[in-house]
Homo-oligomer: A and B are copies of this chain.
Amino acid sequence: MSTVTEDGILGNTERHEIKELDSVTILFAGDSGDGMQITGSQFTDASVVFGNDISTFPDFPAEIRAPSGTLAGVSAYQLHFSNHDIRTPGDRVDTLVAMNAAALKKYLPELEKGGILIADKSGFGPNELKKVDYASNPLEDGSLSEYRVVQADITAQTIAAVKPAGLTGRNAERCKNFYTLGIAYYLYDRPLEPTFDEIRKRFAKKEPVIAEANIAAIQAGYNFAHTIELFKVTYRVRRAVFEPGTYRNISGNLATAMGVAAAASRSGRKVFFGSYPITPASDILHELSRLKHFGVLTFQAEDEIAAVASAVGASFGGILGVTCSSGPGIALKSEAINLAVMTELPLVVIDVQRSGPSTGMPTKTEQADLLMALFGRNSDSPIPVIAPATPGECFECIYEAARVAVKYMTPVMFLSDGYLGNGAEPWKIPDAAALKAFNPSWGLDPAGFKPYARNPDTGARPWVPVGTPGLNYRTTGIEKAENSGGISYDPENHQRMTKARFDKVAKIAQEIPATPVFGAQEGDLLVVSWGGTYGATLTAAETVFAQGKKIGHVHLRWLNPLPPDLGSILKRYKKILVPEINVGQLAYHLRGTYGIPVESYARIRGKAFTVGELVTAYHAQLPQGA
């Protein structure tokens, strides 16, 4: 057995065919208790360490522990890995691992015809079949003839495999996900050692038995596949070519949390993070609660209003207030966000969007809070809105949001979503030292101090740390006189102050670099996207452009203000198309801003676009036969 690992690395060249593939999508699906998220992450880690590009999409049930065997209880992890730059977790699945009947029922439609299905027989007992209304066992009734089915009693084999390590019963059974992982590793020619190391590191001290059992299970699965030549052909996906640098795998929520910590340590002022838990945003709170030494004060408030109001108070106090939620919570925060607009205090509002309206489908993704971000406050209340395109970009964007909030003395809305927040990708680790420090000291001279004087470059008022001698001032949500900040009901002053608040946000355009356009620089169709649909919309545009169409693609990071060059770019195309996971909010915003026709491709299904459907949608907007 000592050679197997090497075998894995070298490939089983002698014994069977190995086929080179450019990319593969594998989906692990099972009951919530089956450990599919762990299996998926392990496979992901093995792939990134090997050097593939990856994109992942975990799909949890809404319940904590949904009843086992039901459709609602299925937990899945989709991984797309490749030898080239990829940006989506894959449209269709090449290999499906189904630990029970429910998993099969739910995900079979995603499996390519001719794809591989690995099924645990023991999850297809009469009970399991009944729970999901299978009249007969699909593993036996011939209905899966179009797929390459590999079935084994994985549960029983796992139990046998881990017995020597000393594990029995329920605990032994729990290792079956690692057994499957072994099979998958064999199939895709992954090295085992890194996973073994990882397992040892994690469990060896506290639970050496578990560690040994897990390793034994992986090895057994691997051997099983190897020995009985389960697969006539195995596959290999070579390393992708990455920009040189040091990489890690990162999820959007983790990147966001690290960006906040970076802002705290590079801004020269602490960060106050006021939050109330909500799916899918809570992980940011969890991460930051562990990063207190970076100068992040986390405050789990009694509700969302207290979360944002305390953050506004902290910003008044002189450290940066950040608050975080998802749609329903952001709605609740709107009144207090407006207080920051009116008092002109910095504030970062993180919205990890989810499917709605109301409670909606909390574990599903959507990018439908754009118009709420822009307009969801009483009266004329401008705030900048920024949206990351990928999990890794969350870091850069949240740092940018914090920097702009402070520089312009304004709340900034950061729109992530469940897809970005939970999804992961390889991330080139940025140089911490190169992050621009920001610590504004403008306007803080007690001589001639005016709390509402404006910095001519930014339109921002001074940011006063409470307690500074000589700068005592009062602020209020009531309209204020220019410069002095005293209460004013003067009509002309209100007009000027309203304009000043809008001008300030408009000035942020000076922070936006020229907009890169992919593909045709003018022509028939410009696709405009924002947020988490970046990968799919661009990949589809690449496909259509490669087919010789006059198609361009622009992805927006700032939604307010829009890039200053966007208006002129839009004019260079006959048609504009905005694909969005909402009813067409950016399309409306572009029309509303530029007064030009904009087409919308809107799908509201709580999940990401597939590249395939977008290719079709682009073609539908292009001249026929052109």
Contact = CB atoms under 8 A, between A and B. Distances in A.
Interface of A: 62, 72, 305, 326-328, 330-332, 334-335, 338-339, 341-343, 353, 355-364, 366, 368-369, 371-372, 374-381, 476-479, 489, 491-492, 494-495, 498-499, 501-502, 582-583, 585, 588-589, 591-598, 603-607
A439 to B, nearest CB: 27
A598 to B, nearest CB: 6
Contact of A357 (B355, B371, B381, B594): B381
Contacts of A355: 379, 479, 494
Contact of A369 (B364, B378, B582): B378
B342 A360 contact: yes
A593 B597 CA distance: 9
B380 A357 contact: yes
A538 B363 CA distance: 50
A327 B339 CA distance: 12
A375 B378 contact: no
A376 B379 contact: no
Contacts of A342: 356-360
A494 B356 contact: no
B338 A356 contact: yes
A105 to B, nearest CB: 13
A491 B605 contact: yes
A365 to B, nearest CB: 11
A598 B328 CA distance: 33
Contacts of A378: 326-328, 330-331, 353, 356-358, 368-369, 372
Given A332-B335, A338-B331, A495-B603, A372 B380 contact: no
A372 B72 CA distance: 36
B489 A62 contact: yes
Nearest to A382: B583
Q: Taking each of A327, A342, A359, A377, which has the highest tally of chain B beta carbons within 10 Å of its own beta carbon?
A: A377
A573 to B, nearest CB: 14
Contacts of A339: 358
A380 B604 contact: yes
A368 B379 contact: yes
A32 B334 CA distance: 34
- Sorted nearest first, the 4 A-B pairs with minimum C-beta distance are A356-B379, A327-B378, A491-B605, A592-B592
A424 to B, nearest CB: 22
Contacts of A374: 371, 375
A377 B379 contact: no
Nearest to A502: B583
Contacts of A604: 380, 494-495, 498-499
16 contacts: A305-B332, A328-B335, A331-B376, A332-B335, A334-B334, A342-B359, A355-B479, A356-B377, A358-B378, A360-B478, A366-B379, A372-B376, A379-B582, A495-B603, A591-B592, A591-B595
